[in-house]
Amino acid sequence: MEIILDALGKACPTPVIMAKKEIESGNRLFGIKVDNEIAYSNLKELATNRGYHAEAKADGGHFLVVFEAQEQDTCSYCAEAAQIIAQKPTAGWAVFVNKPTIGHGSDELGGNLIKMFFYTLAQSDDLPKYVLFMNSGVKLTAMDEYEEVAGHLKALSDKGCKLLVCGTCLNYFGLADQVKVGTVSNMLDITDKLKEVAKVITV
Amino acid sequence: METYYLLVFDSTHAAMQAQKDLNNWMKVIVVPTLREITASCGISLRVAKEDYETFLSILRDQKKAVRLDTKLCRLYQIISQDRTNQARQIPLPAIG
């Protein structure tokens, strides 16, 4: 393996961007050094999405994540078909949560409104494809005081709705190891999901 | 089929006050008021069937000091089946 990228000390999503550039330049085998687990889980997700296999090796207190392209069909018809499959249809909807309340004016009222919002969503048959959490919205997935909302989010997740929680934001609020529901994610993935769906509702 | 109890209110402040007081002693869930019930406040408190006896005893216990103005709220038993809800009003016990 000739290329080893150094992302030690780099904040999310820089390691993912570095790996993405390497993949886009056509490199089929490379490594990237990172120093935290969130970066590793984000890199692993990137690898899966791009047809790579990613494995982390302990490297003196850090991780060396090795990316290796998985064997692909080289026939042109297969490549064309794969490209069509990869073009995601614009369908479904997403909820974007950027604070632990609905609206402004009263946090107490807003906190109750968001509880009722997710209760109503969880009871409904028409579910969002994604619920995306950023900034203080991530508190809903991690803090004990929002346990009631976390219960509704769990019900949504059980019904197949994907919950993506911004890792940078969790880290900022010191909640990275307290996530009760959802998948820790990153700006690239969350932006992809926002672009993918036909409609985004921001609460 | 699912059975639970719902406290509905005439005022949002009364609903939030009761929620805070009750949550000191038991778990109630904040839910939107059902379409089947006419109330001027959209916030209701949902009490699970298995918690109903506890709920009643908390209301009766003066020391628990739950601020619930019986003139501003009503209690319903909800029977939920196939996405339809049957609401039956039941009298609130004397409080405190």
pLDDT of residue B71: 84
Chain B residue with minimum CA distance to A123: B83
Q: Does one domain contain both A102 and A64? A: no
> Which positions ≥6 away from A153 have C-beta within 8 Å?
A118, A122, A131, A140, A141, A163, A181, A182
A148/B contact by beta carbon, under 8 A: yes
Write out chain A residues lying below 8 Å of B12, CB-based.
Answer: 109
How many A×B Cβ pairs under 8 Å?
A: 23
What is the total count of domains within chain B? 1
Q: Tell me, what CATH number does B46's domain have? A: 3.30.70
Q: Does one domain contain both A48 and A136? A: no
pLDDT of residue B94: 73
Q: CB–CB of A163/A193 below 8 Å?
A: no
Chain B, 16 to 35: residues with Cβ < 8 Å from chain A are: 16, 19, 29-32
What is the total count of domains within chain A? 2
- Average pLDDT in the A64-87 region? 77
Chain A, 103 to 122: residues with Cβ < 8 Å from chain B are: 108-109, 112, 115-116, 119-120
Residue B69's alpha-carbon distances to A108, A166, A200, B54, B90, in angstroms, are 20, 42, 41, 19, 16
Selection from A123, A72, A126 nearest residue A95 by Cα = A126
pLDDT tops 90 at residue A77: no
Domain carrying residue A171 = 93-202
- Asked whether the beta carbons of residue A116 and residue B30 sit closer than 8 angstroms, the reply is yes
Q: Does one domain contain both A65 and A107? A: no
pLDDT of residue A80: 75
Domain carrying residue B44 = 2-90
Q: What is the DSSP letter of A138?
A: G
The predicted-structure confidence for A136-173, as pLDDT tens digits, reads as follows 999 999 999 999 999 999 999 999 999 999 999 999 99
pLDDT tops 90 at residue A49: no
Q: Does one domain contain both A115 and A176? A: yes
Neighbouring-strand partners of residue A121: none
B95 domain residue, yes or no: no
Helix (H, G, I), strand (E, B) or coil at B9: strand
A55 domain residue, yes or no: yes
B55 domain residue, yes or no: yes
When mean pLDDT is compared across A11-15, A66-70, A80-84, A184-188, the lowest value belongs to A80-84
pLDDT of residue A87: 65
The predicted-structure confidence for B43-80, as pLDDT tens digits, reads as follows 999 999 999 999 999 988 888 888 888 888 999 999 99
Please tell me which residue, A194 or A76, carries the higher pLDDT value. Answer: A194
pLDDT tops 90 at residue B87: yes
Please tell me which residue, A197 or A82, carries the higher pLDDT value. Answer: A197
pLDDT of residue A48: 87
Site from B31, B45, B81 to mutate, A interface, most A CB atoms within 10 angstroms: B31
Q: Tell me, what CATH number does A145's domain have? A: 3.40.1260.10
B12 domain residue, yes or no: yes
How far is the C-alpha of B34 from the C-alpha of A158, rounded, in Å?
24
A38 domain residue, yes or no: yes
Q: Does one domain contain both A25 and A110? A: no
A188 domain residue, yes or no: yes
The model's confidence at residue B96, banded by pLDDT at 50, 70 and 90, is low
